[in-house]
Amino acid sequence: MSKESNSEQLLEQLFDLQSQFAFQEDLLRELNDVVARQQAQIDVLQREVLLHRERITHVMDNLPDKNNANASADERPPHY
């Protein structure tokens, strides 16, 4: 192998590595954008879950007394 052939091979390998590196940089940037969007969505969903949990707790706390509800459920309706 001549020096020119070696140099050409090295330059070709260097070009290939630079191309791969550029591709990986683009891919990494895209993945970072996806992760950032997903984190924003997770944050929104966590706030919604917390809000629903608070609403459910509020509804459960304001339900009529269970003993009174069961007693009235066992009573005959007035048309009997």
pLDDT (tens place) for every residue of the chain, 80 residues total: 677 899 999 999 999 999 999 999 999 999 999 999 999 999 999 999 999 999 999 999 999 876 565 556 667 777 76
Please state the pTM of the whole predicted model. Answer: 0.60
Residue 14, domain member (yes or no): yes
Number of folded domains in the chain?
A: 1
Q: Which domain holds residue 30?
A: 3-74
In a domain, 36, yes or no: yes
22 belongs to a structural domain = yes
Is residue 80 a part of any domain in this protein? no
Q: Is residue 32 part of a domain?
A: yes
The residue whose two tokens read 């070696």 is 6
